[in-house]
Structure 1
Amino acid sequence: MHIRPIQEQDASEVAQLAKQLGYNPSAQAVLPNIHAILENPAHQAFVYVDQEDQIIGWVHVFIALRLGSLPFAEISGMVVDQASQQQGIGRALVKQCRHWANSRGVGEIRVRCDSTREQANQFYQHIGFKQRKTQRVFVREL
Protein backbone atom coordinates (compact mmCIF):
# COMPACT_ATOMS: atom_id res chain seq x y z
CA MET A 1 0.00 0.00 0.00
CA HIS A 2 1.25 3.45 -0.87
CA ILE A 3 0.32 7.04 -1.67
CA ARG A 4 1.01 8.54 -5.07
CA PRO A 5 -0.08 11.63 -7.01
CA ILE A 6 -3.33 11.28 -8.91
CA GLN A 7 -3.22 10.25 -12.58
CA GLU A 8 -5.68 10.62 -15.44
CA GLN A 9 -6.47 6.91 -15.43
CA ASP A 10 -7.73 7.22 -11.82
CA ALA A 11 -10.90 9.08 -12.86
CA SER A 12 -13.24 6.11 -12.66
CA GLU A 13 -12.11 4.95 -9.20
CA VAL A 14 -12.06 8.53 -7.89
CA ALA A 15 -15.64 9.01 -9.12
CA GLN A 16 -16.74 5.77 -7.47
CA LEU A 17 -15.29 6.80 -4.12
CA ALA A 18 -16.91 10.25 -4.38
CA LYS A 19 -20.27 8.48 -4.23
CA GLN A 20 -19.48 7.60 -0.62
CA LEU A 21 -19.47 11.36 0.08
CA GLY A 22 -22.93 11.69 -1.40
CA TYR A 23 -21.87 12.97 -4.81
CA ASN A 24 -22.53 11.18 -8.07
CA PRO A 25 -19.92 12.26 -10.63
CA SER A 26 -19.07 10.22 -13.70
CA ALA A 27 -15.50 9.46 -14.68
CA GLN A 28 -16.04 11.84 -17.63
CA ALA A 29 -16.96 14.62 -15.19
CA VAL A 30 -13.96 13.94 -12.93
CA LEU A 31 -11.37 13.76 -15.71
CA PRO A 32 -11.29 17.51 -16.57
CA ASN A 33 -10.82 18.25 -12.87
CA ILE A 34 -7.89 15.85 -12.70
CA HIS A 35 -6.38 17.57 -15.76
CA ALA A 36 -6.82 20.98 -14.12
CA ILE A 37 -5.19 19.78 -10.89
CA LEU A 38 -2.26 18.27 -12.77
CA GLU A 39 -1.72 21.53 -14.68
CA ASN A 40 -1.94 23.84 -11.65
CA PRO A 41 1.07 23.88 -9.30
CA ALA A 42 -1.10 25.34 -6.52
CA HIS A 43 -3.19 22.15 -6.49
CA GLN A 44 -2.36 18.51 -5.82
CA ALA A 45 -4.33 15.31 -5.38
CA PHE A 46 -3.07 12.06 -3.93
CA VAL A 47 -4.50 8.55 -4.02
CA TYR A 48 -3.97 5.72 -1.56
CA VAL A 49 -3.47 2.45 -3.43
CA ASP A 50 -3.79 -1.04 -1.92
CA GLN A 51 -1.84 -4.21 -2.72
CA GLU A 52 -4.07 -4.95 -5.73
CA ASP A 53 -3.39 -1.46 -7.12
CA GLN A 54 -6.95 -0.36 -6.30
CA ILE A 55 -7.58 3.16 -5.06
CA ILE A 56 -9.10 3.04 -1.58
CA GLY A 57 -8.76 6.73 -0.74
CA TRP A 58 -8.04 10.12 -2.25
CA VAL A 59 -7.46 13.69 -1.16
CA HIS A 60 -7.32 17.04 -2.98
CA VAL A 61 -5.34 19.91 -1.46
CA PHE A 62 -4.61 23.40 -2.74
CA ILE A 63 -2.89 26.62 -1.74
CA ALA A 64 -5.50 29.26 -0.94
CA LEU A 65 -4.80 32.95 -1.38
CA ARG A 66 -6.76 35.58 0.52
CA LEU A 67 -6.14 39.32 0.54
CA GLY A 68 -6.55 39.49 4.30
CA SER A 69 -4.35 36.59 5.40
CA LEU A 70 -1.23 34.63 4.65
CA PRO A 71 -1.53 31.78 2.12
CA PHE A 72 -2.63 28.47 3.58
CA ALA A 73 -3.25 24.96 2.34
CA GLU A 74 -6.80 23.68 2.28
CA ILE A 75 -8.04 20.14 1.90
CA SER A 76 -10.98 20.48 -0.44
CA GLY A 77 -12.04 16.86 -0.41
CA MET A 78 -11.02 13.51 1.01
CA VAL A 79 -12.58 10.08 1.11
CA VAL A 80 -11.46 6.67 2.32
CA ASP A 81 -13.48 3.65 1.26
CA GLN A 82 -15.87 2.68 4.04
CA ALA A 83 -14.50 -0.86 4.13
CA SER A 84 -10.97 0.48 4.71
CA GLN A 85 -11.59 3.10 7.37
CA GLN A 86 -10.00 3.02 10.83
CA GLN A 87 -6.69 1.78 9.36
CA GLY A 88 -4.71 5.05 9.31
CA ILE A 89 -5.32 5.77 5.63
CA GLY A 90 -7.00 9.15 6.21
CA ARG A 91 -4.25 10.13 8.61
CA ALA A 92 -1.61 9.15 6.01
CA LEU A 93 -3.36 11.16 3.29
CA VAL A 94 -3.53 14.25 5.52
CA LYS A 95 0.14 13.79 6.43
CA GLN A 96 0.97 13.74 2.71
CA CYS A 97 -0.97 17.00 2.27
CA ARG A 98 0.88 18.57 5.19
CA HIS A 99 4.21 17.57 3.70
CA TRP A 100 3.21 18.94 0.27
CA ALA A 101 2.04 22.24 1.77
CA ASN A 102 5.12 22.59 3.96
CA SER A 103 7.38 22.05 0.94
CA ARG A 104 5.67 25.08 -0.63
CA GLY A 105 6.34 27.32 2.35
CA VAL A 106 2.82 27.26 3.75
CA GLY A 107 2.51 27.22 7.52
CA GLU A 108 -1.10 26.20 7.99
CA ILE A 109 -3.52 23.62 6.63
CA ARG A 110 -7.28 23.92 6.88
CA VAL A 111 -10.27 21.76 6.09
CA ARG A 112 -13.95 22.64 5.90
CA CYS A 113 -16.26 19.91 7.05
CA ASP A 114 -20.03 19.88 6.97
CA SER A 115 -21.38 19.87 10.52
CA THR A 116 -23.61 16.89 9.62
CA ARG A 117 -20.56 14.72 8.91
CA GLU A 118 -19.99 13.86 12.54
CA GLN A 119 -17.50 11.04 11.89
CA ALA A 120 -15.37 13.29 9.68
CA ASN A 121 -15.47 16.11 12.22
CA GLN A 122 -14.30 13.73 14.95
CA PHE A 123 -11.55 12.39 12.68
CA TYR A 124 -10.08 15.83 11.98
CA GLN A 125 -10.20 16.80 15.64
CA HIS A 126 -8.60 13.48 16.59
CA ILE A 127 -5.61 14.11 14.32
CA GLY A 128 -4.96 17.60 15.66
CA PHE A 129 -7.20 20.03 13.77
CA LYS A 130 -8.88 22.67 15.93
CA GLN A 131 -12.24 24.18 15.09
CA ARG A 132 -11.71 27.87 14.42
CA LYS A 133 -15.16 29.08 13.44
CA THR A 134 -18.63 28.17 12.25
CA GLN A 135 -19.80 29.64 8.99
CA ARG A 136 -22.55 29.40 6.41
CA VAL A 137 -22.11 28.81 2.72
CA PHE A 138 -24.33 30.83 0.39
CA VAL A 139 -24.78 29.82 -3.24
CA ARG A 140 -26.32 31.65 -6.15
CA GLU A 141 -26.54 30.23 -9.63
CA LEU A 142 -25.02 32.35 -12.38
Structure 2
Amino acid sequence: MEIRTATEQDIDAILELNRQIGLIHFEHAPEVFCPPSPQERDFLLNAIGSEGRLFCVAVLDAEVVGFLTARIDINEAIPFLTRLPICRIGSVVVDEHHRSRGIGKALIAHCDDWAKARDACQIRLEVMSFNERAKSLYETLGFKVQSQIMAR
Protein backbone atom coordinates (compact mmCIF):
# COMPACT_ATOMS: atom_id res chain seq x y z
CA MET A 1 0.00 0.00 0.00
CA GLU A 2 1.15 3.51 -0.81
CA ILE A 3 0.08 6.75 0.88
CA ARG A 4 0.53 9.76 -1.40
CA THR A 5 -0.79 13.25 -2.01
CA ALA A 6 -4.20 13.28 -3.69
CA THR A 7 -4.43 14.67 -7.22
CA GLU A 8 -7.32 15.79 -9.39
CA GLN A 9 -7.04 12.45 -11.21
CA ASP A 10 -8.17 10.75 -7.98
CA ILE A 11 -11.45 12.68 -7.81
CA ASP A 12 -13.79 9.90 -8.99
CA ALA A 13 -12.44 7.44 -6.41
CA ILE A 14 -12.51 10.11 -3.69
CA LEU A 15 -16.11 10.96 -4.59
CA GLU A 16 -17.09 7.31 -4.24
CA LEU A 17 -15.41 7.08 -0.83
CA ASN A 18 -17.06 10.34 0.20
CA ARG A 19 -20.43 8.97 -0.97
CA GLN A 20 -19.96 5.87 1.19
CA ILE A 21 -19.19 7.84 4.34
CA GLY A 22 -21.78 10.49 3.48
CA LEU A 23 -24.58 7.93 3.29
CA ILE A 24 -23.63 6.45 6.66
CA HIS A 25 -23.57 9.89 8.26
CA PHE A 26 -26.85 10.96 6.64
CA GLU A 27 -28.58 7.73 7.70
CA HIS A 28 -27.51 8.15 11.32
CA ALA A 29 -27.77 11.95 11.66
CA PRO A 30 -30.00 13.49 8.96
CA GLU A 31 -30.43 16.58 11.12
CA VAL A 32 -26.69 17.24 10.71
CA PHE A 33 -25.72 15.76 7.33
CA CYS A 34 -27.16 16.09 3.83
CA PRO A 35 -27.28 13.17 1.41
CA PRO A 36 -24.37 13.04 -1.04
CA SER A 37 -24.73 15.58 -3.85
CA PRO A 38 -23.02 16.67 -7.07
CA GLN A 39 -21.72 19.83 -5.32
CA GLU A 40 -19.23 17.66 -3.45
CA ARG A 41 -17.06 17.36 -6.58
CA ASP A 42 -16.12 21.05 -6.61
CA PHE A 43 -15.71 21.10 -2.83
CA LEU A 44 -13.31 18.14 -2.93
CA LEU A 45 -11.40 19.46 -5.96
CA ASN A 46 -10.86 22.73 -4.09
CA ALA A 47 -9.66 20.79 -1.05
CA ILE A 48 -7.21 18.79 -3.19
CA GLY A 49 -5.77 22.02 -4.58
CA SER A 50 -5.64 23.83 -1.25
CA GLU A 51 -2.16 24.90 -0.16
CA GLY A 52 -0.99 24.21 3.35
CA ARG A 53 -3.39 21.32 3.92
CA LEU A 54 -2.90 17.59 3.81
CA PHE A 55 -5.08 15.64 1.41
CA CYS A 56 -3.64 12.17 0.97
CA VAL A 57 -4.91 8.92 -0.50
CA ALA A 58 -4.18 5.28 0.26
CA VAL A 59 -3.55 3.28 -2.90
CA LEU A 60 -3.68 -0.51 -3.03
CA ASP A 61 -3.11 -2.35 -6.32
CA ALA A 62 -3.51 0.94 -8.26
CA GLU A 63 -6.90 1.60 -6.58
CA VAL A 64 -7.62 4.49 -4.22
CA VAL A 65 -9.03 2.77 -1.13
CA GLY A 66 -8.97 5.60 1.39
CA PHE A 67 -8.27 9.26 2.02
CA LEU A 68 -7.48 11.67 4.83
CA THR A 69 -7.65 15.45 5.07
CA ALA A 70 -6.00 17.61 7.73
CA ARG A 71 -4.82 21.14 8.44
CA ILE A 72 -2.70 22.93 11.01
CA ASP A 73 -4.47 25.52 13.17
CA ILE A 74 -2.83 28.08 15.42
CA ASN A 75 -5.07 29.98 17.82
CA GLU A 76 -4.40 33.71 17.60
CA ALA A 77 -7.65 35.09 18.98
CA ILE A 78 -8.66 33.33 22.19
CA PRO A 79 -6.38 34.26 25.11
CA PHE A 80 -7.18 31.24 27.30
CA LEU A 81 -6.34 28.65 24.59
CA THR A 82 -2.85 27.53 23.66
CA ARG A 83 -1.13 29.15 20.72
CA LEU A 84 0.72 25.97 19.82
CA PRO A 85 0.09 24.45 16.37
CA ILE A 86 -2.62 21.78 16.37
CA CYS A 87 -3.28 19.35 13.54
CA ARG A 88 -6.99 18.89 12.91
CA ILE A 89 -8.04 15.87 10.90
CA GLY A 90 -11.10 16.70 8.83
CA SER A 91 -11.88 13.32 7.27
CA VAL A 92 -10.62 9.77 7.41
CA VAL A 93 -12.38 7.46 4.96
CA VAL A 94 -11.63 3.85 4.01
CA ASP A 95 -13.53 1.98 1.31
CA GLU A 96 -16.21 -0.28 2.79
CA HIS A 97 -14.67 -3.32 1.06
CA HIS A 98 -11.18 -2.65 2.46
CA ARG A 99 -11.85 -1.88 6.12
CA SER A 100 -9.99 -3.59 8.98
CA ARG A 101 -6.85 -3.98 6.87
CA GLY A 102 -4.72 -1.24 8.45
CA ILE A 103 -5.53 1.43 5.87
CA GLY A 104 -7.00 3.92 8.34
CA LYS A 105 -4.06 3.31 10.66
CA ALA A 106 -1.60 3.96 7.82
CA LEU A 107 -3.40 7.17 6.83
CA ILE A 108 -3.26 8.45 10.40
CA ALA A 109 0.43 7.49 10.71
CA HIS A 110 1.11 9.50 7.55
CA CYS A 111 -0.81 12.43 9.03
CA ASP A 112 1.16 12.10 12.26
CA ASP A 113 4.44 12.44 10.34
CA TRP A 114 3.05 15.42 8.41
CA ALA A 115 1.90 17.10 11.64
CA LYS A 116 5.22 16.51 13.43
CA ALA A 117 7.10 18.05 10.49
CA ARG A 118 4.96 21.17 11.07
CA ASP A 119 5.62 21.21 14.82
CA ALA A 120 2.04 20.33 15.76
CA CYS A 121 1.77 19.58 19.47
CA GLN A 122 -1.38 17.52 19.09
CA ILE A 123 -3.64 15.83 16.55
CA ARG A 124 -7.37 16.29 17.02
CA LEU A 125 -10.37 14.89 15.22
CA GLU A 126 -14.11 14.71 15.64
CA VAL A 127 -15.97 11.42 15.41
CA MET A 128 -19.72 10.97 15.47
CA SER A 129 -21.06 9.10 18.50
CA PHE A 130 -22.68 6.41 16.31
CA ASN A 131 -19.40 5.55 14.56
CA GLU A 132 -18.24 2.79 16.90
CA ARG A 133 -15.79 1.31 14.41
CA ALA A 134 -13.94 4.61 13.96
CA LYS A 135 -13.96 5.33 17.69
CA SER A 136 -12.42 1.94 18.34
CA LEU A 137 -9.65 2.60 15.80
CA TYR A 138 -8.89 6.02 17.23
CA GLU A 139 -8.75 4.67 20.80
CA THR A 140 -6.38 1.91 19.64
CA LEU A 141 -4.14 4.64 18.18
CA GLY A 142 -4.04 6.54 21.48
CA PHE A 143 -6.74 9.15 20.91
CA LYS A 144 -8.70 10.09 24.02
CA VAL A 145 -11.96 11.98 24.44
CA GLN A 146 -11.06 15.59 25.10
CA SER A 147 -14.48 17.19 24.76
CA GLN A 148 -17.98 16.37 23.57
CA ILE A 149 -20.34 18.21 21.27
CA MET A 150 -23.88 18.04 22.56
CA ALA A 151 -27.02 19.00 20.64
CA ARG A 152 -30.78 19.04 21.14
TM-score under structure 1 normalisation? 0.85
Q: Which residue of 1 aligns with 2:49?
A: 38
- Give the TM-score normalised by the residue count of structure 2: 0.80
Specify the alignment match of 1:6 in structure 2: 6
Residues 38 and 44 of structure 1 are in contact (CA less than 8 Å); yes or no, is this contact kept in structure 2?
no
Checking the alignment, whether the CA contact within 8 Å between 1:6 and 1:34 is kept in structure 2 is: no
- 1:124-135 mapped onto 2 (5 Å cutoff): 124-135=138-149
Give the gaps of 5 or more residues in structure 2.
24-35
Shift in alpha-carbon separation, 1:93–1:5, aligned structure 2, 3 A: same
Q: Which has the higher contact order (CA 8 A, sep 6+)?
A: 2
Matched, 1:50 2:60: yes
CA shift at 1:74, angstroms? 0.8
Alignment correspondent of 2:20: 20
SS in 2 for 1:82: coil
> 1:93-116: per-residue Cα shift (whole Å, max 9, x none)?
000001001101112101100111
Query: Unpaired segments of 5 or more residues in structure 1?
Result: none
Residue 38 of structure 1: how far off its partner (Å): 2.7
RMSD: 1.9
Q: CA deviation at 1:137?
A: 6.5
Query: For the Cα contact (< 8 Å) 1:17–1:57, is it kept in 2?
Result: yes
Residue from 74, 98, 107 that aligns with 1:93: 107
Q: How many residues align?
A: 135
Query: Percent identity over the alignment?
Result: 30
**Cα drift, residue 37 of structure 1:** 4.2
